[in-house]
Amino acid sequence: MTKTWNTKFGPRRVRHDPPTLAEAVTAAQGLTDNLSEQVEIAASLIGLAPEKVRDAVMAAAPQRRNVNVVAVGGGARGSRSVIVERKPARRMVNR
């Protein structure tokens, strides 16, 4: 499709804004955990060479920490449940 075309209401144009480097890196991080794949995805979204994008992806990579995960049970009574119910809004009706 061309950038400008005519309709019965007149000419129409679509503005194309490529993503910023930060937006492309965030999108790539959401798609995969592999850093080399993130570089390729971000580079293809922006249209730059992967070498130029690699530094930004490496800087935005989460730092790995050693974290011990501790699971806490519900005790002698078993696990606890939480039930969330939605109440409909009250509407005032004039008659």
* Chain segment 48-95, per-residue pLDDT in tens: 999 999 999 998 877 655 555 555 555 666 666 677 777 766 777 776
Mean pLDDT confidence for 14-18: 82
Distance (Å, whole) CA 76 – CA 68: 24
Angle at 24 between CA 23 and CA 29, to 5 degrees: 100
Across 1-95, the runs of DSSP E, i.e. the strands, are: 4-7, 10-13
Sequence spans of domains, the chain: 21-62
pLDDT, residue 18, reads 84
pLDDT band per the 50, 70, 90 thresholds, residue 3: confident
pLDDT, residue 44, reads 94
pLDDT band per the 50, 70, 90 thresholds, residue 16: confident
**pTM greater than the 0.85 cutoff:** no
Which residue reads 């794949």 in tokens?
A: 37
Angle at 52 between CA 51 and CA 56, to 5 degrees: 105
Structure tokens belonging to residue 64 = 């790995």
76 secondary structure, DSSP code: G
Contacts of residue 28, Cβ cutoff 8 Å, sequence gap at least 6: 37, 38, 39, 41, 42, 45, 57
